[in-house]
Amino acid sequence: MGTGLYRKLGVAFVLLLLGAAGARGQIATPIDAFVGYSYFHTNAPPGECGCFSMNGGTGELSTLLGHGISALADVGGYYQGNVDKTGRTLQVETFLFGPRFSTHHWRKVTLFGESMFGGSMGIGTLYETSATTSGSASGFSLGAGGGVDLNVSPRISVRVFQADYIMTRMPNSFDNTQNNLRLNFGVVFHFGQGR
């Protein structure tokens, strides 16, 4: 997957923003913006878990389409400076899009689930034979998960928990698939009609 796909994903993200802004100007369509910390548990070495943790952040934009369904754009970045105690570095970026399903049966709590697809990119010395030379790889990604937002006001919620399974397809000299767990915590800002 080359830079052409990332340009297309970027254009889709901008179109989502412009469409949401246009809809907001006409009918006050709710738009949510999330920013927060991400814990990313992954397995880059081939054949066995070889699991290690990464830290980073995630940003999301979603716009309500109706009946609890929103269009979601999710961008995240995660970093580890000493992969599996090898001294190698890895930075993973994910670009995901898809539907989110939310329920507002309780005034103070919003539950949601989502399914996403898009792309990912890995950058670092993990992709080179030398621990001092940085390389990169990219591939397809998909994800699914859900979480809980605590609505503290009509304009702000706290994401107390979000867990997503994210599959990335990048080279690992085995099956080129990584099974990742991502946990997000942060703040959601509501624009347009309040909660």
In this structure, what CATH number is given to the domain that contains residue 86?
2.40.160.20
DSSP string, 29-98: --EEEEEEEEEEEEE-SSSS--EEEEEEEEEEEEEEEETTEEEEEEEEEEEESSGGGSS--EEEEEEEEE
Q: pLDDT-based confidence at 164, cuts 50/70/90?
A: very high
Q: pLDDT-based confidence at 132, cuts 50/70/90?
A: low
Q: What was the pLDDT predicted at 69?
A: 94
Domain with 125 in it: 3-191
Q: Tell me: pLDDT of 64 over 60.
A: yes
Q: What was the pLDDT predicted at 19?
A: 58
Q: How far apart are CA 3 and CA 1, in angstroms?
A: 7
**Both tokens assigned to 83:** 């992969």
Q: What was the pLDDT predicted at 117?
A: 96
Q: What was the pLDDT predicted at 27?
A: 44
Q: How far apart are CA 142 and CA 167, in angstroms?
A: 5
Q: Which residues contact 177 (CB under 8 A, 6 or more apart)?
A: 167, 168, 169
Question: Tokens 């994903």 identify what position?
Answer: 9
Q: How many domains are contained in the chain?
A: 1
- Are 109 and 149 in contact by the 8 Å Cβ rule? The answer is yes
